[in-house]
A and B are shown apart, each in its own frame.
Chain A
Amino acid sequence: MHLPGYYEFSARVKVVSGHRVLEKIPAELRKLGASKPFIVTDNGVSSAGLLEIVTDSIRSGVTIGAVADDIPQDSDVCIINDLAGIFRERGCDSLIALGGGSVIDTAKGINIVISENTYDLMKFSGAGRLKRALKPLIAVPTTAGTGSETTMVAVIADHERQRKMLFVSYFLVPDVAVLDSRMTLSLPPAMTAATAMDALCHAVEAYTCLAKNPMSDICALEAIELISRNLLHVVNNPGDKDGRLALANAATLAGMAFSNSMVGMVHALGHSVGSVCGVPHGMAMSVLLPYGLEYNMHKVSHFIAELLFPLAGSEIFARTPKHLRAERVVTIIRKLNQDLHDATGGRHARFFGEVLDRHGAHMVEKEKIPDIARTALGDGALFYNPEDLDYDDMLMVMEGAWEGVPLKRNLIKSG
């Protein structure tokens, strides 16, 4: 066990998991002293019929105060202030966030505005500015990937002033995360693959980056095992309810791992590929994960080697000689990407060169790589990566990930 000289761990969110647990939401709200929730969600979720499932499941137990089903991907302060207005007008007393990361962050933003009774959300940005418990917030994730139902942070954009602000506080951890298999059952195979690979990245990076600790390690191991045993099966059999629930649990466990131990270069580059080229987060993660492992290999091969156990099972672990285990992990992840590529009829990308938009054009143009590299140099996840990356290193990794060829190990600088 790797026991660091100092570490912190908390996983404060209450997890309620099962095939029919949406029905427990009214009781959970009551325990939190609330009875009139404001449901926030996005278009995709409501048009997939998930909003209806939720409202039907809870209607008999609570009064639904209001519903906002059009949170955009790039939600910001203005939208949050508008929604807070609706919350007040309808006399709501709690929030249900139904969706992925941006919906949950928006709900957290509304919660700050309401609970602090302010119009200037940005006053509370930064670490530890919130000084009191907020209104009850229940998160119902619909993607089995981001893990934001477990985190104590919210990222909220201010489009007017062109900046993204970070809010960090214990009080931002949702009170309850409800993992119901019905919420992810209709997720298309390619999305299932991408979001699960995001969760896998959270677990792998938490396990191999600098802030790892024994608790987050165990969360990560369990998440990795759940994903490697279920992902391919679920992609091939989308109706597998147990598999869906396992993936949802994996995403939450991976969220607990990375919200304590943070992520590294895969996310630093992934965020930039997202912001420069608009590549969906999960897809960027699938492509970049093997490269991140290769790049950090000379620093943390002993940690990467241990991941063979949850990824491949005890038999393969025992059969693989110690010094080959870490490389085998990279091979297995590449193979997983290949299998997912085949299972989704080519929709799951293996390298950036084959990421296409709706019109069949390259999403990541080769000329954008320098831009991506520069943006990545400003990503906070770099703090936690075991090895340093300068501009040239970023270029090298991105070029490998664009072509789909493994990194040349002799070009990776160590000092």
Chain B
Amino acid sequence: MFLPNEYEFSCFVKINSGTRALEHLPHELDALNARKPLIVAGKDVSKEGHVRKLMSAFRDSGMTIGVCDDISGPFDAPLIEAITNLYRNKDHDSIVAVGSGSIVDVAKVLNVSVSYGGRTLRELAGKNGIPNPLDPFIFVPTAGGDGYETSRYAEIEDMKFSSDFLMPDLVVIDPRMVTSRDTRIIVATAMTALAHAVEAYTSPAKNHITDIYAHAAIKYVAEYLIPVVRHPADRDGSCALANAACMAGCVVSDMTMGMAHILGETIGAMFGITPGICMGIVLPYTVAHRALHFGARTADLILPLAGFDDCAKISPSLSDAVAVTMMIDLQHELNGQTHGGIPRTLEEADVPPYMLQDIAERCITDDLPGYTYSDYLTVVKQAWEGSPAMNG
């Protein structure tokens, strides 16, 4: 079994997940010593009635809450400044972000801005630029997301923030908020989580605690993605997938971000495909490649992917290959369930074959050490054809 020699890790995130989770909010805010939260939500989310559901959770609580629920782009510094002024003038002491993706970046950077009066955002950006805890920050996810919501990162304009204190204190996953009818969004979010978790779980920088979060995320996706794609109204399953996104976000870091992430982002940006979908396509091939050439701990994936019974049946010498096959099977199953809506290969995703070299080149500019042009090219070729590299 895996014994890391020396490590340090922390994750401040608490999660409340399941039936009536929203109604725990007033009590949780109180425990964090917050009296007057500011709710931050995007226009799209409030149109769907999510903000209304959140507000009704505060009934009978006696709390007064502030609401900014029609935030729309551009998500830039002036926007942050405007909300900061509101936050200060109205004496708020905590932030509740509803939604996913960039609205969470807004909330995180808002939290930096309200806590550091004298300094500009630009001074605070950069690696570990935020030395002290911020105000209580609660995140209520809705369907979708970029996988960074619960991470230690935030981005506004060209400023990148990175600090453990940016992570939400609490994530409230309520079935009323996280169900979605759009299978493409469901798959993209879940596959982003799976890719991040698999890379963390097989990374040499892993440790016992990151394993917990990564293991959970993989297990949630392996067990619940297909059922939810089949029945998008499945409340338990939708919560499980939201948990996966949350847990994977907790272990996203520079150390664990791997090939699937880079390839997914790059291909997504080049061809206008949702990055999560691309990550799903390339993930099995990157895993196979890394098992073969980088000694990644692919065999470890069997337990979270397959559960006790199947894991116990698989001979250790085959577990690398089985893990890869299981992930390819998942992709095929998704393709079948959506009647071809989710592509299995880069070819099916309409990536032209003559662009594969280009993709590999662009991946290199993202400075992830260790992987060369030929590594990326091999993997994209395999992902285009749908045939992984296997031992023997």
Contacts and interface: CB of A to CB of B under 8 A. Distances in A.
Chains A, B in direct contact (C-beta < 8 Å): yes
A318 interface: yes
Contact of B216 (A17, A21, A131, A214): A214
Nearest to A325: B308
A219 interface: yes
A128 B30 contact: yes
Interface string A230-249: 00000000000010011001
Nearest to B250: A11
Given A253-B212, A309-B308, A9 B21 contact: no
B16 interface: yes
Given A20-B6, A306-B308, 6 more contacts: A7-B17, A8-B17, A14-B10, A128-B31, A222-B215, A309-B311
Nearest to B222: A1
Contact of B8 (A6, A14, A242, A317): A14
B243 interface: yes
Contacts of B219: 1, 214, 218
A219 B212 contact: yes
Interface string B1-32: 10111111111111111111100000100111
B8 A225 contact: no
Interface string B95-136: 000000000000000000000000000000000000111000
Contacts of A4: 18
Contacts of A169: 31
Given A1-B223, A5-B18, A6-B21, A315 B9 contact: no
A1 B239 CA distance: 13
Interface of B: 1, 3-21, 27, 30-33, 131-133, 207-209, 211-212, 215-216, 219-220, 223, 236, 239-240, 243, 247, 307-308, 311-313
A314 B312 contact: yes
Contacts of B14: 8-10, 12, 170
Nearest to B18: A6
A396 interface: no
A214 B9 contact: no
Contacts of A412: none
Contacts, number: 118
A225 B1 contact: yes
Contact of B132 (A5, A7, A33, A222): A33
Contacts of A214: 216, 219-220, 243
Interface in A112-158: 128, 131-133
A133 B6 contact: no
Interface in A310-357: 314-315, 317-318
Contacts of A64: none
Nearest to A169: B31
A411 interface: no
A12 B31 contact: no
B209 A11 contact: yes
A218 B216 contact: yes
A317 B1 CA distance: 16
Nearest to B5: A18
Contacts of B11: 11-12
